[in-house]
A and B are shown apart, each in its own frame.
Chain A
Amino acid sequence: MTTETAATAGLTHCGACGGKGVKTFKDGVLTNNPIFAQVLGICSALAVTSKLETSLVMGIGYVFVLSLSALVVSLLRKTIPHRIRIITQVLVVCVFVIVLDQLLKAFYFEASRQLGPYVGLIITNTLTLGRTEGFSIQNKPLLSLVDGAGNGLGYAAVLAVIGTIRELLGSGKLLGHVVLSPHIYTPNQLMILAPGAFFGLGILIALLNITVLKSKDAKK
Chain B
Amino acid sequence: MKRNAYTILYAFILGGICSLVPTAVGELTAPYREANAKAEEIRNILRVLEIPVSQNATSRQLVAQFEKSVRVSSKEGRTLYRSVDRLDSTRVGAVALAFSGPGIWGLIKGFLALDTGMTTIKRISFYQNEETPGLGGEIGTEWFQNKFIGKEIRDASGAAGFKIRRSGAQGPNEIDGISGATLTCGKVQTILNTLILHIDKEKRHDN
**Residues in A lying within 8 Å of B, measured CB to CB:** 47, 76, 79-81, 83-84, 87-88, 91-92, 94-95, 98-99, 102-103, 105-107, 109, 113, 116-118, 194
B22, A81: Cβ atoms under 8 Å?
no
Contact between B10 and A79, CB atoms less than 8 A apart: yes
Q: Determine the distance from Cα of A87 to Cα of B15 in the docked complex, in whole angstroms.
A: 11
What's the tally of chain B residues with a CB closer than 8 Å to chain A? 22
The distance in angstroms between the C-alpha atoms of A99 and B137, with both chains bound, is 24
Q: Of all chain B residues, which has the CB nearest A194?
A: B134
Q: Evaluate whether A91 and B14 lie within 8 angstroms (CB atoms) in the complex, with A83-B7, A102-B22, A116-B133 already known.
A: yes
B86 at the interface (CB under 8 A from A): no
- Interface residues of chain B: helix, strand, loop or mixed (majority): helix
Using a CB–CB distance below 8 Å, which chain B residues touch chain A?
3, 6-7, 10-11, 14-15, 18, 21-22, 25-26, 29, 32-33, 36, 39-40, 130, 133-134, 137
CB-defined contacts of B134 to chain A, threshold 8 Å: 194
> In this complex, what residue of B is CB-closest to A108?
B36
Complex alpha-carbon distance, A95 and B24, angstroms: 11
Tell whether, in the assembled complex, residue A106 and residue B11 are in contact, meaning their CB atoms are under 8 Å apart: no
Establish whether residues A102 and B33, one from each chain, have CB atoms under 8 Å apart when the complex forms.
yes
Which of these, A83, A88, A102, A194, contacts B14 with CB under 8 Å? A88
Find the A residue at minimum CB distance from B11: A84
Bound-state CA distance A128–B64 (Å) is: 44
For the complex, give the distance between the alpha carbons of A76 and B137 in Å: 38
In the assembled complex, how far is the CB of residue A196 from the closest CB belonging to chain B, in whole angstroms?
14
Q: Determine whether the beta carbon of A81 is less than 8 Å from that of B3.
A: yes
Find chain B residues with CB under 8 A from A80 CB. Answer: 10
